[in-house]
Amino acid sequence: MTDDTREARDPSLVDVAIPVVLLVGLLGLAVYLFGEDASWGPNQIALTLCALVAAAVGLKNGHRWDDIREGVGDSIMQAMPAIFILLAVGALVGTWVMCGTVPSMIYLGLKFLSPAVFYPSALIVCAIISASIGSSWTTVGTIGVGMIGIANGLGLSEPAAAGAIVCGAYFGDKLSPLSDTTNLAPAVAGSDLYTHIKHMLWTTIPSVVIALVIFTVMGLRASSDESAMAGVQETMTLIDSHFAVGWHLLIPIAVVLAMALRKMPPFPVIMIGALVGGAFAVLFQPDQVVVLAGDDELPRGLALTAGVWQALVSGFEAQTGVDVLDDLLSRGGMASMLEVIWLVLSALMFGGVMEKTGMLRRLVQLILGAARGTGSLIAATIFTGIGVNVIASDQYMAIVLPGRMFRLEFEDRGLAPQNLSRALEDSGTITSPLVPWNTCGAYMAGTLGVATIAYLPFAFFNLLCPLISLGYGFTGFTIVKLENGAGSASEDRSGV
């Protein structure tokens, strides 16, 4: 097998362009034809077809089908932890709605928050939680779900609320020393963790401040609209009449966050949280559990078991008689994540073929060849990270691949490694939730119930970070030179 692989020809630029251009065209057509529903089937078809085209190009260049298939398998295997987490989050949302945790978050949020402060509050709360536990996914899967419900109850835009949640979650994740990507980027670039975090503040703080200002202005405009508050009291009354609500029902959140702080693996943490939610449902919402079981002839003990089981599988189905509230509280279940997983698998299949056939590496080399000065080198790193997020659909690969490819180039040009690690995070980490078929984008959409393309325009922090990083690269501001010593910044005017 090794000899056959060595005989394969390197791909040409035309070879690389064929599947990439076709992918861009088909994904654009899917969005044009299906809009926000493109990620629930049409994008999967586009990615699958482009994977076949990329495989055909690889076969033309001498790669064996078995090797290409192995590459696809390796790509998918790397994402299996993320897929299991997706399933666990679906189960958690189902039991947390049924047990009253999500309804209590919505009820208390409607009681204490107003449209004027909701968007910046959502960002700040998610940022604090994410920074504390080092996980954007756990933050969105717990606090984020409740925040979406609060936004709905306040009559605010769900896409804007999802944007604020994603901004906060990734701000905290990016700066947390507990985050895997925050540790991965300096490890790949050759920097140390705390130098990396300190250097990221230059792009992260301005981005989040601007995002907070924008969200504050949006909130003030919403608060001046009297219709935005219409129905809030009615929603609270309906929730209170169908669920037992209270601060004690937030204990499942505390349990999950406590385990996350102890750096326990995400999958068991979230599954334990889902089971705790099931136990709380039996204790505090037994009638809801029995109704969900749907079999009046079962003994009560078995009916309670069946109801919790059903919530884990297909989520909770609210039956309040009010369509808006039923839509809000009918959520979760592992089955609700199957279309998201389909999207992830399709994207990883395409990315695996591109990597195994050498087309992804050829594309990165092309970008590197165009980098002449410091500014263009930073730009090449950022656009490569974004490109790998789009093509390979994995934020870890978007950090590791450009990090390996550009590390020696940064050293040869006398640039300190924290410049590279910051660029890797400002692209690979930050833009991953903005790509609908990326594991992160698919997770955010599936968990929050808002399409990636819908919240993307409101993810101001994630959009601004790469732009500010680009500006620093071309102006030389905060660019650190090796000869000046670690931690000292100097302006680099070496051109573009």
Q: Using one digit for the tens of pLDDT, what is the confidence trace for 104-141?
A: 988 888 888 888 899 999 999 999 988 888 888 888 98
On whether residue 447 sits in a domain, the answer given is no
pLDDT at position 13 over 80: yes
pLDDT for the residue 488? 40
pLDDT for the residue 303? 93
What is the distance, to the nearest Å, from the Cα of residue 287 to the centroid of all Cα atoms in its chain?
Answer: 35
pLDDT for the residue 2? 44
Dihedral of CA 137/142/147/153: which sign? positive
On whether residue 9 sits in a domain, the answer given is no
Residue 418 burial (C-beta neighbours within 10 Å; 0-12, 13-18, 19+): buried
Give 227's pLDDT tier (boundaries 50, 70, 90). Answer: low
pLDDT for the residue 231? 62
CA-CA distance, 40 to 54, in Å (whole number)? 23
pLDDT at position 63 over 80: yes
**Residue pLDDT, tens place only, 390-414:** 887 778 878 887 887 788 889 888 9
Token pair of 83 as six digits: 């897929």
- Mean pLDDT confidence for 61-84: 88
Asked if 469 and 462 touch (Cβ cutoff 8 Å), the reply is no
Q: Domain tally for the chain?
A: 1
Q: What is the pTM of this model?
A: 0.81
Asked if 198 and 76 touch (Cβ cutoff 8 Å), the reply is no
pLDDT for the residue 223? 61
Residue 275 burial (C-beta neighbours within 10 Å; 0-12, 13-18, 19+): middle
Q: Among candidates 24, 197, 228, which has minimal Cα distance to 115?
A: 228
pLDDT at position 171 over 60: yes
Give 6's pLDDT tier (boundaries 50, 70, 90). Answer: low
Give 260's pLDDT tier (boundaries 50, 70, 90). Answer: confident
Distant-in-sequence, close-in-space partners of 272: CB < 8 Å, separation ≥ 6:
255, 256, 259
Give 492's pLDDT tier (boundaries 50, 70, 90). Answer: very low
pLDDT for the residue 465? 95
pLDDT for the residue 69? 94
pLDDT for the residue 490? 42
On whether residue 185 sits in a domain, the answer given is yes
Question: In the predicted model, what is the mean pLDDT of the chain?
Answer: 86
- Which range is least confidently modeled, 226-235, 249-258, 401-410? 226-235
On whether residue 196 sits in a domain, the answer given is yes
- Read off φ and ψ for residue 50, nearest 5 degrees: -70, -30
On whether residue 128 sits in a domain, the answer given is yes
SS3 (DSSP) at 243:
coil
pLDDT for the residue 56? 96
**Domain that residue 129 falls in:** 81-336
- Mean pLDDT confidence for 350-364: 86
Report the half-sphere exposure of 317 (CA within 13 A, side-chain side). 10
AA letter at 305:
T
On whether residue 98 sits in a domain, the answer given is yes
Q: Among candidates 448, 422, 467, 453, which has minimal Cα distance to 136?
A: 448
On whether residue 491 sits in a domain, the answer given is no
CA angle 372, 378, 382 (to 5 degrees): 125
CB atoms within 10 A of CB 254: 11
**Residue pLDDT, tens place only, 77-98:** 877 887 888 898 889 989 999 9
CA–CA distance from 113 to each of 108, 121, 211, 223, 290 (Å)?
A: 8, 8, 19, 11, 33
**Residue pLDDT, tens place only, 441-480:** 989 998 898 999 999 999 999 999 999 999 999 999 999 9
- Mean pLDDT confidence for 274-296: 92
The owner of tokens 């009560």 is: 300
Token pair of 407 as six digits: 């590390």
On whether residue 174 sits in a domain, the answer given is yes
CA-CA distance, 100 to 243, in Å (whole number)? 6
| Strand partners of residue 481 | 415
Secondary-structure percent of the chain, ordered helix, strand, coil, rounded to 5: 80, 0, 20
pLDDT for the residue 225? 52
pLDDT at position 40 over 90: no
pLDDT for the residue 3? 46
pLDDT for the residue 5? 44
Give 372's pLDDT tier (boundaries 50, 70, 90). Answer: confident
